[in-house]
Amino acid sequence: MDFDLTEEQRLLKESVDGLLADAYDFDARKKYMKEKGGWSKAIWDRLAEQGLLGLPFAEADGGFGAGAVETMIVMEAMGRALVVEPYLATVVIGGGFLRHGGSADQKAKHIPGIIDGSKTFAFAQLEKNSRYDLHDVVTTAKKKGDGWVIDGEKFVVLNGENADTLIVTARTKGGQRDKTGIGLFLVPADARGITRKGYPTQDGLHAADISFTNVEVGADAALGDPENALPLIERVADEARTAVCAEAVGAMDESLKTTVEYIKTRKQFGVAIGSFQSLQHRAADMFVALEQARSMSMFATMASDFDNARERSSAVAAAKVQVGKSLKFVGQQSIQLHGGIGMTMEAKIGHYFKRLTMIENTLGDTDYHLRRVSEGGGLLA
Amino acid sequence: MDLAFTKEEIAFREEVREFFRNNVPPDTRRKLQEGRHLSKDEMVTWWRILNKKGWGVSHWPKEYGGTGWTSVQSYIFNEELQSYPAPQPLAFGVSMVGPVIYTFGNEKQKKEYLPRIANVDDWWCQGFSEPGSGSDLASLKTKAERRGDKWIINGQKTWTTLAQHADMIFCLCRTDNNAKKQMGISFIVFSMKSKGVTVRPIQTIDGGHEVNEVFFDDVEVPYENLIGEENKGWDYAKFLLGNERTGIARVGVSKERLRRIRDLASKVESGGRPVIEDPAFREKLTACEIELKALELTQLRVVADEGKHGKGKPNPASSVLKIKGSEIQQTTTELLMEVIGPFAAPYDEHGDAGSNESMDWSAQIAPSYFNNRKVSIYGGSNEIQRNIISKAVLGL
């Protein structure tokens, strides 16, 4: 049992923290958000230069063969800096599908572009009525010759506006909520029949609603088993949930630090408001919430090594519950303790609150995951 | 980062489990499961079994009878002990006064007291709180005046847990009225059988008798019963309270109780089906299990940290343990109340005598709920814990 980082992991942490401290303060972030597509290609290239975009890929595929702990380190740092570049969509999710489900050809075709920073990905999954159920799929993929024809509509696709390649869930068989008959397809974003409507999201990222009308792709577009891709989808979704838990821990950590700093300096009644016990106790409760979330983020990260898939996903779901509860408390109280200034777009604290709030609604919220753990017989079983 | 125990640690856990299975008296275990109080005899019997095995004062240095276990082994032992469940060693002797004596006491005191603590030849109680000194403990007034080779002690202590069983007390006494309040306190130990000591029971809202008032009326104590230096008692008290960082979370206790809730909830019916099949109830239970898992991980972080970097610098996360640990213990007793619903009401006046067969299974659930309100009050109330976090961790 060990909660320390290895020497290499410590160096990785120093390097990513260093890069972001150097290039990603709150003002710099504002500039990056105004660039084309809403994020900075220059920063993306620096991430590539430092090897961060190739981190989780096998050495045989040109990556570094890093594991879940390394992703946790990077995501936590990104949460602390509120990074808007599409690391989650491209490296964690897009890369995750290629790592766990890609054929040798698919890996060879797509992974180098992720690692060198030239290509980004988006996961087109959410539908109008699917909400958080990954198996609720209406979009269809019908066999045509060797290939497939995709029809349907996807919503709030993170990085959907900018991505070069979309990974699309589509039904090849069965009814809307059947757990089998779901396929996963690599689709060039500029394929004929695709319409993308992009927009900024509440937390300063970018997403798109995407419609697919008679979109034809080849046989090589299918990732994994086109009639039974749900296990693959769930696996990668768990990795993405684990990653956003770490991101949330980073964002909460910075929120608490910023808030404590603020109440030490803000004066009312002639004294720093941090000298008032009601505020001190609130801050202490925020610390408790943060540490509980940090523990569960680590738990989910370490659970990626569990052999038993049910235990693994129940650990991730439990982490998402704890992180969801914690982020709501830390986020809301950060605004409360800042008072009026916390309500302004100008202060950075509100931007942490907004990102945290959106993480809660990413890939299943607190209630959703609580139900999953509960229906699976609880955590002690 | 790695969650797994080593092969040796797993073997150790098996050894501990095996020992409990073969040596904890079944009646003692059952009473703990049902939330009943144990008699002095039952407790002492078990502690002597434990001491005979060499595990009575496991975390003490080897020279005083400890085991030399790693932090992880100690964690495993406590976890297994709590979740079996078996009675935990008497904290007042083993975790509190023992370490103070072997750290600050002289050779004669070590020789005289430590083996008797390990074998519970002396039952110790703690003389800290007073009617006017709860959270503000340093304001305590019980006075020890030096007269020749004796202390003359006058005053009153309160909330003295299980003083009715006690042979010895360790007591914070004011020995200098002129110094700053923390600087005029000494740490003195003496026999509860001394002339002038009166113990008066306090009945708590659960109907039980755990705590007492203790009065000192011109109690004569040999001067040599002072531990360490005169007027340094506050430092020893802080040492004592900071010593038990990880046990306070009582993760094993809550785990055992959560198992009991699942078990009871699958037997008790509501709306024509077992309570456990009510999604609302089940989600509350699951939420508590998740909180506990988070706490367990937080505790493991502290344990691993201590194992690696020593106990010198506490991990900031350790201050979370008392607050969350107590909240979760309280939630588990609430959930038990919810499971039994209207059957929480009957009050067994005769307590552990078990006078009424029909209420055997439920009689202790409401008292346990009432009793557990104490866990967020004792050992530094949760409000005091928040003061500690805001000052020591956040720098406010």
Cβ contact, residue pair A302, B317, below 8 Å: no
pLDDT recorded at residue B311: 66
Query: Which tens digit of pLDDT belongs to each residue from A167-216?
Result: 999 999 999 999 999 999 999 999 999 999 999 999 999 999 999 999 99
Mean pLDDT of chain A: 97
Q: Rounded distance, CA A220 to CA A103, Å?
A: 9
Q: Which helix (H) or strand (E) holds B102?
A: helix B98-104
Task: Judge whether A325 and B324 are in contact, CB under 8 Å.
Answer: no
Query: Which tens digit of pLDDT belongs to each residue from A254-279?
Result: 999 999 999 999 999 999 999 999 99
| Backbone torsions φ then ψ of A141, nearest 5 degrees | -125, 115
Query: Rg for chain A (alpha carbons), in Å?
Result: 21
Cβ contact, residue pair A295, B291, below 8 Å: no
A228-239 as b/e: b if 16+ CB within 10 A: ebbebbbbbbbb
Q: Rounded distance, CA A110 to CA A275, Å?
A: 55
- B383 — contact with chain A (CB < 8 Å)? yes
Residues ≥6 apart with Cβ < 8 Å to B144 = B151, B152, B153, B171, B173, B174, B175, B186, B188, B221
Question: How many residues are there in chain A?
Answer: 381
- A146 — contact with chain B (CB < 8 Å)? no
Can you tell me the mean pLDDT for A143-161? 97
Residues ≥6 apart with Cβ < 8 Å to B261 = B285, B332, B335, B336, B339
Task: Judge whether B331 and B285 are in contact, CB under 8 Å.
Answer: no
* Nearest CA among A290, A291, A295, A289 for reference residue A315: A295
Cβ contact, residue pair B305, A3, below 8 Å: yes
pLDDT recorded at residue B347: 84
Q: Token match 């502290």: residue? A: B302
Q: Rounded distance, CA B257 to CA B240, Å?
A: 28
Cβ contact, residue pair A374, B279, below 8 Å: yes
pLDDT recorded at residue B348: 76
Residue A305 has pLDDT above 80, yes or no: no
> B244 catalytic, yes or no?
yes
Higher pLDDT, B239 or A48: A48
* Helix and strand counts by DSSP (H, E) for chain A: 12, 9
pTM for the whole structure: 0.94
pLDDT beneath 70: ranges in chain B:
244-246, 311-314, 350-360
Chain B contact probe: residue of A245, A259, A380 with most B CBs at under 10 A: A380
- B288 — contact with chain A (CB < 8 Å)? no
pLDDT recorded at residue B4: 86
Q: How far does the CA of residue B5 sit from the closest CA of chain A (Å)?
A: 5
Cβ contact, residue pair B396, A298, below 8 Å: no
Q: How many CB atoms lie within 10 A of CB A36?
A: 8
B114-143 as b/e: b if 16+ CB within 10 A: bebbbbbebbbbbbbbbeebbeebbebebe
- B286 — contact with chain A (CB < 8 Å)? yes
Residue A145 has pLDDT above 90, yes or no: yes
Cβ contact, residue pair A284, B386, below 8 Å: yes
pLDDT recorded at residue B355: 46
Residue A57 has pLDDT above 50, yes or no: yes
Q: Which of B34, B112, B230, B244 is catalytic?
A: B244
- A42 — contact with chain B (CB < 8 Å)? no
- Those of residues 52-81 in B touching chain A at CB distance below 8 A are 72
Query: Which tens digit of pLDDT belongs to each residue from A349-369?
Result: 999 999 999 999 999 999 999
Q: How far does the CA of residue A263 sit from the closest CA of chain B (Å)?
A: 8
Closest to B289 (Cβ–Cβ): which among A69, A305, A378? A378
ipTM: 0.95
Closest to B258 (Cβ–Cβ): which among A69, A305, A380? A380
Q: Rounded distance, CA A349 to CA A48, Å?
A: 29
Query: Which tens digit of pLDDT belongs to each residue from A11-27?
Result: 999 999 999 999 999 99
Q: Token match 């981190």: residue? A: A55
